[in-house]
Structure 1
Amino acid sequence: MRPLSALSAALLTVASVTALPSDPQGQIPILSNELHKPKGGKGVGHFSEWSRETKKRFLIDWQEGRESEWTIVQGNEGGDLDSMTAALTWAYHLEHSTANTSDPLKAVALLQTATHALDLRPENKVALENSQMTEGHEDLLTIDELPEDPETLAPKLKGIILVDHASPLRKWSNAKILSIFDHHVDRGAGPDAKPRIFERTASCTTIVARTMLNELERLPEEYHMPHELLELVLSAIAIDSGGLTSAITTKTDVETSKRVLNRSAWADRKVEDVMEELDDILSKAKKDLDHLGLRDLLRRDWKGDLVDTPSPRTPTVSLGFASVPYSMDEQIEKTDFAELFDWFAVHAAWTAEVGVDISIVLNKYKIKDKHGKKKKIREIVLTVRDDVRIDQDQADSLFKTVKEALEADEFLKLKPWYRANELSTRQMVWSHESGAGRKIIRPVVEAAVLGWD
């Protein structure tokens, strides 16, 4: 990773300083210019105006009973930059590519993250401000702003489109799935969806952007593509692909980035330089989490859903996953009393708020070995509550089932945390060095829940 340029430093402090219109060294132009924003931090440019107006039209149409005319493009509930950008990009494309046809589409991007949680991902804040969006995220439709519960809204819509998300959350299960774009494992949802693309790429935004450009270039006349959106696309791909240098980067990520770059305000730069610098900027912002308390760390990357069980007494349980880039010890220090009991008190308050039966917290951090080299350590925290959908006996049984499934997984090779003997009922913490994250651990847990009786 190369040293940050003067431009990078300016972008990283974009929320607190007034940026210059362009980098004095003549490199990547700075997109967010506070001098040009009117009082109140309203966004400028076509992308911000479109997003705000689309949100307004959707809410007006819902009020007047015309929700059946709308398609909701939604990512996963983790709300990372990739999921958000992919949803915004495809919603913009659907509306603009059909605007001059006999069947114009109404599409709005929905972020399945509450407004107050968006800034818990600093990289999102930097990327959105660089795309000249309105302060406070007024341009964006978030899950807490939906005027109707998803269970009742879903069947009224024209349909939903999933991006960076293989299957809809249970609350959206009654919606028609029109399209799916994902870079994870196909879970069989929406078999009749078109397009339905599952492809291994570093970023789902890559798949969406490639499809968008392919369709755009086939139109009789291309619609306006705002540079703010193009640069948001590049940002999402950059952070997911390590600036196009990570092991998961594909030829498609590279080629799509070049195509997007050629249409952007950075077209005179080399794609390798632009993507590396964007990755430097956003990755540094992503790590700026020391100011967050434990509750915010738990909710900043939270994903959960209802899972069916074979038990007639408990047909469903609620399962939630948090990903936290700090060790258990570091998180304990962030509590009021800096004690183990307080970690579980804060965690219990959060899981009670979201109504979760089973919670899995996935921690990751780095330590130096005896040779001074850094190595990655991961931890898994398992808890099961007995006050939501299940009683004490059921909770004990479910905890035992999930605990045994995790400990039996040969790939994980879990070791009890060094303070495991201090834990209470239905609490367990392990450490491991397998490198397995949520994508590997979640199916293990879900399979255990599905087999629990």
Structure 2
Amino acid sequence: MRLASYALLALSAATAALSLPSRQHQFPLVLPSPANTIENSRDEAYWASEEGVGHFSQWSKAQKRNFVDDVRDGKASEWILVMGNEGGDLDSMTAALTWSYHLSHQHADTNKTIALLQTPRDALDLRPENKLALRNVLMSPGHRDLLTIDELPLPAEEIAEQLKSIVLVDHPAPLSVWQKAKIRSIFDHHRDRGAAPDAKPRLFEGTASCTTIVARTMLDELERRKEGEYHMPHEVVELILDAIALDSDGLSKGTPADKFTAARLLKRSNWSKQKLYDVMDRLDSEMKKAKKDLEELGVRDLLRRDWKGDLVETPEGRPNVHLGLASIPISLEDQIERTLHNTTQAWFVTEEKWSEEIGADITLALNSFKERDSHNKKIKTREIVLVVRPNDKLTEKDSDELFQIISNAVEQSPFLDAQPWKRAKELTARQMVWTHHIASGGRKLIRPIVEDAVAAWRL
């Protein structure tokens, strides 16, 4: 799947890193050239451009080049792909990159290992915190050293059958396009969904960061190596610390595993002489500041910057449906102000175009923001925006039924206190917006409610 190119983000998140004396930046920001796509990868010029200067970047680019060449030469069966979830947050990206580096160095039979980011390359910078973290560890500013879903030489379904295996990180089960691939390992901090019971290692633990589980396993195996440790570049260590810091609020919300693993990593970093909580608090502040820098993003980019979607299997006789969920840290009213005509339906027009572009049958935008209550106290508010549209797969009757089933599930859920949006009168058929104030009411709560409702769709 190829997505249209996007307007370039403001560079404030990236340039903020220049003020950090402990991180060196030895390259200029070079923007990707539309002509230099993966199709040109047989051309030496493709690989010579947009160099990152760190060891990790150079290794990653070499792995990417070898992988692309091998797949084209019919050697995909020699490769292991490590992949996170399609939302592509810092935790998911870092966990995939970390484990792929470890596997490729740990055993001779796993040296053909590469991380796959299940995000299009032109969407990577829609997460400013990812852009900042990658820049801090000297990766290529144009992301030439990362393998993204739209750069696969063959369709994912086709490659899945050929691969040696895949590893899932920050994701409990493979997306439907990877179902025919052998799952080697799973590392996750979400609910175990029973996928690949024979995978090794298969670790599910309620840590703040999935990267913690990956990094702890990596360190354990690294330190037990009979032949001695392989080279662990400080860039990898510091990228891991960024991810753990952001997910654990600088360890203030970290589990013992997050804290002990961060302490082990700190000893291997360029900040080894500094205090753990001072470092993690600083990294958390840096990442959060960058993460909030979304002023330049329009509605389409807000929808796709943290998008997760896949097919939901329905009872026999019903079409399987593609359910997509976007997590957006901005209120619907503020998003409406970013549309051309500043109207509610202008927002839904943009949402419709995005849904059609990626083939989503049901879309939910899960918005979260802070507003002041009647006592002028800031409270966290959440919104659930539901859209179901008829298409070549779903009839008008199908769409009406699904919309009603999901609406009932949301409104009757004992875990939510969903109330109609104050501007609900502006909505049209098969559109609904609810508000609620459940602190844990993000995608992890809403997705199972909706998926279970859709899966139970009866004749």
TM-score range, shorter chain: over 0.9
Confirm or deny that 1:75 pairs with 2:81.
no
Partner SS, residue 366 of structure 1 = strand
Q: Residue 328 of structure 1: CA displacement?
A: 1.0
Report the Cα offset of residue 36 of structure 1: 12
User: Secondary structure, in 3 states, of the residue corresponding to 1:263?
Assistant: coil
Aligned counterpart for 1:236 among listed residues 219, 238, 243: 243
The one-letter code sitting in structure 2 at the alignment partner of 1:51 is: S
C-alpha distance in 2, partners of 1:397/1:230? 50
Whichever residue aligns with residue 88 of structure 2, its letter is G
CA deviations 1:130-166 (Å, max 9, x no partner) are 0100111000000000011111110110010000000
1:61 correspondence with 2:70: yes
Number of the residue aligned with 2:14? 15
Large movers: runs of 4+ above 4 Å: none
Q: Distance in 2 between matches of 1:167 and 1:14?
A: 33
Query: 1:417 maps to what in 2?
Result: 421
Q: Cα 1:193–1:342, aligned 2, differ >3 Å: closer, same or farther?
A: same
Alignment of 1:291-302 (within 5 A): 291-302=296-307
Alignment of 1:64-143 (within 5 A): 64-99=73-108, 103-143=109-149
1:388/1:305 CA distance change after superposition, 3 Å: farther
1:37-90 C-alpha deviation (Å, 9 max, x unpaired):
9x9541112101100000001011111111000000000000000000000000
1:331 aligns with 2:324: no
- CA shift for structure 1 position 14: 6.9
Q: CA deviation at 1:15?
A: 3.4
Distance 1:381 1:283, change over 3 A: same
TM-score for both structures, normalised by structure 1:
0.92
Q: Which of 260, 263, 267 lines up with 1:262 in the alignment? A: 267
Q: Which stretch of structure 1 is more off in the superposition, 380-389 or 192-201?
A: 380-389
The Cα of 1:369 is off from its aligned counterpart by 2.1
Aligned-partner SS, 1:363: strand
Q: Which residue matches 1:9?
A: none
Do 2:13 and 2:290's aligned partners in 1 also have CA atoms closer than 8 Å? no
In the alignment, is the contact (CA less than 8 A) between 2:96 and 2:169 conserved in 1? yes
SS of the residue corresponding to residue 290 of structure 2 reads helix
**Cα deviations across residues 11-32 of structure 1 (Å, max 9, x unaligned)?**
x957348947x62xxxxx1233
The one of 323, 348, 352 aligned to 1:344: 348
**1:419 offset after TM fit, Å?**
1.2
Q: Structure 1 263/157 Cα, relative in aligned 2: closer, same or farther at 3 Å? A: same
Distance 2:401 2:118 in 1: 32
Partners of 1:295 and 1:142 lie apart in 2 by 20
What displacement does 1:257 show? 0.2
Partner-residue secondary structure (3-state), 1:34: coil
Q: Is the 8 A contact 1:72 1:109 kept in 2?
A: yes
**How far off is 1:392 after superposition?**
0.6
- Deviation (angstroms), 1:35: 7.2
State the distance in 1 between where 2:58 and 2:26 align: 16
In 2, Cα distance between the equivalents of 1:70 and 1:385?
Answer: 40
d(CA) in 2 for partners of 1:104, 1:271:
33
Deviation string 1:408-453 (CA, Å, 9 cap, x unpaired) is 0122111000111221110000111112110011000000001112
Q: CA deviation at 1:389?
A: 1.7
Q: How much is the aligned-residue C-alpha RMSD, in angstroms?
A: 1.7
For residues 269 and 197 of structure 2, the distance between their equivalents in structure 1, rounded to whole angstroms, comes to: 35
Matched position secondary structure for 1:442: helix
Report if aligned partners of 1:18, 1:33 keep a CA contact under 8 Å in 2: no
Are residues 1:226 and 2:233 paired? yes
Q: Which of 15, 25, 28 is the equivalent residue of 1:32? A: 25
Residue 445 (structure 2) aligns with: 440
Query: What is the Cα deviation at residue 232 of structure 1?
Result: 0.2
- Distance change (3 Å), C-alpha of 1:417 and 1:134: same
Check whether the contact 1:332–1:343 (CA below 8 A) recurs between aligned residues: yes
Could you tell me how far apart the structure 1 residues matched to 2:269 and 2:203 are?
25
CA contact (8 A) 2:371 2:381 kept: yes
Q: Is the contact between residue 356 and residue 388 of structure 1 (CA under 8 Å) also seen in structure 2?
A: no
Q: 1:87-124, CA deviations, whole angstroms, 9 ceiling, x for partnerless residues?
A: 0000000011114xxx3431000000000000000000
Where does the alignment leave 5 or more consecutive residues of structure 2 unmatched?
A: 1-10, 31-47
Alignment check: 8 A CA contact 1:355 1:388 kept? no
Per-residue CA shift, 1:336-355, capped at 9, x if unaligned? Answer: 00011101100100001011
Instruction: Say which of 281, 285, 291 aligns to 1:280.
Output: 285
Counterpart of 2:25, as a letter, is S
Aligned to 1:204: 210
State the partner residue of 1:374: 378
- Normalization by structure 2: what TM-score? 0.91
Aligned to 2:395: 391
**Which stretch shows the higher mean deviation, 103-112 or 375-384?**
103-112
In the alignment of these two chains, the number of paired residues is 429
Report if aligned partners of 1:366, 1:377 keep a CA contact under 8 Å in 2: yes
2-side partners of 1:35 and 1:150: how far apart? 33
| Alignment match, 1:4 | none
Spell out, residue by residue over 1:338-389, the C-alpha distance to the aligned partner (whole angstroms, 9 max, x if none): 0111011001000010111111110111012233321000000111011142
